[in-house]
Chains A and B, each alone.
Chain A
Amino acid sequence: MNTALARLRHALLRQIVRPRLDLPLALALLLLAAVGLLTLTSAADLEVHVIVAQATRFMLGALLLLAVSRVPPVRLRSLTPWLYVISTLLLLVVAALGEGRGAHRWLNLGVLRFQPSELLKLTMPMMVAWYLAQRPLPPRWRDLAVVGLLIAAPAALIAMQPDLGTALLVAAAGVFALFLSGLAWWRIGMLLGALAGALPLAWPYMHQFQRERVLTFLHPESDPLGTGWHIIQSEIAVGSGGWFGKGWHQGTQSRLEFLPEHTTDFIFAVFAEEFGLIGVILLVALYAFIIGRCLWIAVNARDTYSRLLGGALAMSFFVYVMVNGGMITGILPVVGVPLPLVSYGGTSAVSLLTGFGVLMSIHAHRKLVDSRA
């Protein structure tokens, strides 16, 4: 009893004194969360319950991050196929009996509702890394076919929900693992060519609202009060911010609610309106630093599985930023991708922080023999 308590106290102390965290990454995430809460406070018009809810999710995410960081990658690797299969099965369950506004995304577990598709954001790169790590690299056509199937099946299920944004992020995570595994450039070129050729074939299978979004993206002024409204109002918010912005909680576009979804998908526009180009540059630099640091961790990982997984997670983080930033500035179509750790919304914050937990674990276990074990 005494020894067990002593061991626990020892473990806690060690966690505090010598955390198994990458400090620069942890500080960057902390800073990002702070910026996120500050922006959300303004976007939510100082509504306390929104801030409290978001902060609670950050806490939960932080706990998950700490927990996952203690799981060695080897253990994760052995669990990978199971996790992948379970999360894909959950997608099938959602397709059968899920619920949600207009789209079947949610699974109600009584106490908490969650989107199984969020799980895939982690299990997808894990699975692809797991498979590729045991194959001779660079991958050949056969590996490509297997990985293609591993990616396409869940991604298609998510796209059918329909949740194009998450499908995109999930597929991207798998594709990045493939890219990092050293897939030959000529194969990449052929794949991209085939994809470009196949894209128009997808058109008939898209939902009406998805088609409208694409059309609106191409001609936003054609429907200024309908779907185009989002893009136009977002561009007005961003553009009117100028160099230095209108100041915190001074953004008229968000405060007067001309900007729709200004606490969730379009919160970047609020940030740009209130903090201007200077703020945007600093925020994008912070994201670039986080991505770079994660890639550095991946490069220094001890095995191929950890490298591919860490690198894929780092690069899919970029997809969030790019797709969201492109959307609010009108250079990419409106797809529901949040701005990581800034947009209001539970599951993405939690799943993102869990992903960073994996990276922390990779960082902590980068030596073949853990000297501290």
Chain B
Amino acid sequence: MLHRPALKDPRREHARFRARAWTGYALILLALAGLLARFVWLQVVQHQEFVTRANANRIRLVYLPPPRGLIYDRNGVLLADNVPAYRLEVVPERVPHLQAMLQRLSQVVPLSAEDLRRFHDELAQQRPFQSVPLRLKLSEDEIARFAINQWRFPGVAVVPYLMRNYPQGKLFAHVLGYVGRIDASEQARLDPELYAGTLQIGKSGIERQYEGLLHGKPGYELVEVNVDQRPLRVLERVPPTPGRNLYLSIDARLQQAGEAAFAGRPGAAVAIDPRNGQVLALVSVPSYDPNLFVSGISDADYRALLDDPDKPLLNRALRGLYPPGSTVKPYLALGGLELGLRTAQDTVDSTGEFYLPGQKRGYRDDQRGGVGRVAMVQAIEQSVNTYFYKLALDMGIDRMAAWMSRFGFGRPSGIDLPAEASGVLPSPAWKRATFHQPWYLGETVIAGIGQGYWVVTPLQLAHALATLADHAVAHAPRLLLAEQSGMGAPRVPAPPAPATPSFATSRPDWDTVVQGMVAVVNGDKGTARGLGVGFPYPIAGKTGTAERYSRTTSAYDSHLTNAQLAERHRALFECFTPADDPRIAVVVVLEHGAWGGSAAAPIARTILDTWARERGLPVTPLMQAPPG
């Protein structure tokens, strides 16, 4: 193939170059215009979206959890407050090897299995840039040791917070309950806005009941952060609204006196102001230290509480179930009068044993041989079983159940505390529904002395007593007295407890029953005689001794010592004072008391003495327990 020899032609080269250069420039300008179009797309068309994303980058919302409301007794004695504490927090995203880090950290600050379990639970729920609490309530020693080693633990920080504290310890555990770490099921139920930044929630008692008031509303800070999430400045701050302070109707001194009077023996005491249902004391012995639960209780501590045979975690006042025994007699007596089945003068002959027609099984009196002919007042004074066997039979179980339910037996009293037990008020309908069995007449007889299926909680009995004391007006028991939006703010009284109108119409009927109850304390043969000695007001009371085991009529227990009796008895005592114008009603249940009068009544008297002393009344303490 032949080539035409190529020759250099400078002029044509120059012309060609000029054409190429300007063509190239046109292409370059076109490309730059395309680049500018891209800028227009980003900076004009999508501008708003990128502004949002730039802000999302740099602005962090930091929630400020509200300080929890404080709790006081009626006189302003502090029952629950918040104290500064320090906790360890971990930002998972910033920890390269989490397991290895935890391993090393546990050599600096002890971490329990429980801490680690909770931490991993929360880790699973949170996003990696969110801080997760690892250990609460660091000691000063631990803080110091961590501070020295902090450089070894990027992403781990000591964070100050407010920790719930119960300065009165175990004294109010069964009233206040406690707060604890929010668990997974609660987390799912809670409003995430309201609980943002909050670690703890009321788990039981007042803390749980009034969680809505105590918690408050979180505030927040908009913080500008850099790429390392280091906060640089606060752009906006909305302070949290603290939870409301609560004043309880409880009187710390009554509570203290009642608790002390038990001397560690298991039981419960409830004091109520019958005029309005305000609960003045709510004691359950033994108790526990609620502070243990605040930062997560250790396994060992929890096991010890669970394994304690005296069951310190059981709120006996609210959930302890006891046969009411003879304490139901005043209510039954009032029913007899109100329903026209008895007059105050009607008498019954007590022979020591009572038989249903055509039956061999006998129902006995407490006194061998009986006490002879008694009218209503004596029947209450001496707690004569035969009188009430007959009254129960005459009334019939249906009318009796209906009447008793008006005092609140068989259902929760409606106190402002969670998890109250209902107790059992037996009736044929209840028995059919529960056991699919018919009702027997004998069961009506023993129901007349508060035995059989009948069980009550101490609170329920106190509620019934307060209802009786306020002339058959039932006020639901109330613990919340007032609330307050901050220290120094005015106390706003809580709305009064709902009350039903009086269901007993006759004042003389009421007087008869109360006369019998006064005789229990002041009569020569009263089962709690001598209890009123040295007390400024007349006391109206009624003892009750319920048996923990059933027994036959043939055996009397007179040969047994009180200690042996205590093993099988529960001692109950109910009383109010002043008898003619009741201002305080007290119920005491002692689980291992021999007799109501001798074992339970002195505890009630101690509470009454404290109550009277607070009102400046002269009191001479009881020197000798009632005999019965």
* Interfacial residues, chain A to chain B (CB-CB below 8 A): 135-138, 140, 176, 179-182, 233, 235-243, 252-253, 256-258, 272, 276-277, 280-281, 284, 287-288, 291-292, 295, 298-299, 303-304, 307-308, 311, 315, 318, 321-322, 325-326, 329, 331
Contact = CB atoms under 8 A, between A and B. Distances in A.
5 contacts: A176-B24, A239-B51, A252-B55, A280-B39, A322-B31
B35 interface: yes
Contacts of A180: 17, 20-21, 24
A137 B13 contact: yes
B181 interface: no
Nearest to B23: A179
A238 to B, nearest CB: 5
Contacts of A304: 10, 13-14, 17
A321 B32 contact: yes
Given A236-B57, A272-B39, A182 B47 contact: no
A181 B6 CA distance: 15
Nearest to B227: A257
B51 A240 contact: yes
A321 B33 CA distance: 12
A180 B20 CA distance: 5
Contact of B24 (A243, A258, A295): A295
B6 A136 contact: yes
CB-based closest 6 A-B pairs: A239-B50, A136-B6, A240-B54, A182-B16, A256-B226, A239-B42
Contacts of B7: 136
A277 B37 CA distance: 10
Contact of B36 (A136, A236, A237, A281): A281
B38 interface: yes
B314 interface: no
Contacts of A235: 42, 50
B53 interface: yes
Given A307-B14, A325-B35, A236 B43 contact: no
B29 A288 contact: yes
Nearest to A137: B13
Given A242-B51, A253-B57, A288-B32, A308 B43 contact: no
B225 A256 contact: yes
B127 interface: no
Categorize the interface residue count of chain B: 35 or more
Contacts of B35: 284, 321-322, 325-326, 329, 331
B487 interface: no
B226 A240 contact: no
A252 B57 contact: yes
B58 A242 contact: no
A140 B14 CA distance: 18
B25 interface: yes
A299 B18 contact: yes
Contacts of A140: 6
A257 B230 CA distance: 11
Contacts of B21: 180, 295, 298-299, 311
B227 A138 contact: no
A5 to B, nearest CB: 42
B32 A252 contact: no
A61 B31 CA distance: 28
Contacts of A315: 24, 28
A299 B47 contact: no
Nearest to A260: B227
A252 B57 CA distance: 9
B232 interface: yes
Interface of B: 6-10, 13-14, 16-18, 20-22, 24-25, 28-29, 31-32, 35-36, 38-40, 42-44, 46-47, 49-51, 53-55, 57-58, 224-228, 232
B36 A238 contact: no
B46 to A, nearest CB: 5
Contacts of A253: 54, 57-58
Contacts of A329: 35, 38-39, 42
Contacts of B24: 176, 179-180, 295, 311, 315
Nearest to A176: B24
A308 B17 contact: yes
A280 B37 CA distance: 11
Contact of A295 (B16, B25, B49, B57): B25
B39 A252 contact: no
B58 A239 contact: no
A179 B21 CA distance: 9
Nearest to A245: B43
B342 to A, nearest CB: 86
Nearest to A298: B21
Contacts of B53: 236, 239-240
Contact of B224 (A136, A242, A256, A325): A256
A272 B35 CA distance: 13
A280 to B, nearest CB: 5
A322 B32 contact: yes
B23 to A, nearest CB: 9
Given A288-B29, A299-B21, A238 B43 contact: yes
Given A284-B36, A322-B35, A240 B28 contact: no
B158 to A, nearest CB: 25
Given A180-B24, A284-B32, A291-B28, A258 B57 contact: yes
B227 A236 contact: no
A239 B43 contact: yes
A58 to B, nearest CB: 24
B43 A241 contact: yes
Nearest to A329: B38
A322 B39 CA distance: 12
A73 to B, nearest CB: 15
B40 to A, nearest CB: 6
B13 to A, nearest CB: 5
Nearest to B8: A136
Contacts of B14: 304, 307
B32 to A, nearest CB: 6
Nearest to A242: B47
Given A253-B57, A295-B24, A277 B232 contact: no
Contact of B50 (A135, A240, A284, A299): A240
B161 to A, nearest CB: 28
A176 B18 CA distance: 14
Contacts of B22: 295, 299
A138 B42 CA distance: 42
A322 B228 CA distance: 32
A135 B5 CA distance: 11
Given A138-B16, A242-B47, A304-B14, 5 more contacts: A180-B17, A233-B57, A239-B43, A239-B51, A256-B232
A307 B12 CA distance: 13
B59 to A, nearest CB: 9
A280 B18 CA distance: 29
Given A136-B6, A176-B24, A182-B16, A277 B54 contact: no
Contacts of A137: 8, 13, 16
Nearest to B54: A240
Contact of A277 (B6, B16, B43, B49): B43
A240 B59 CA distance: 14
Contacts of B6: 135-136, 140
Nearest to A326: B35
B57 A277 contact: no
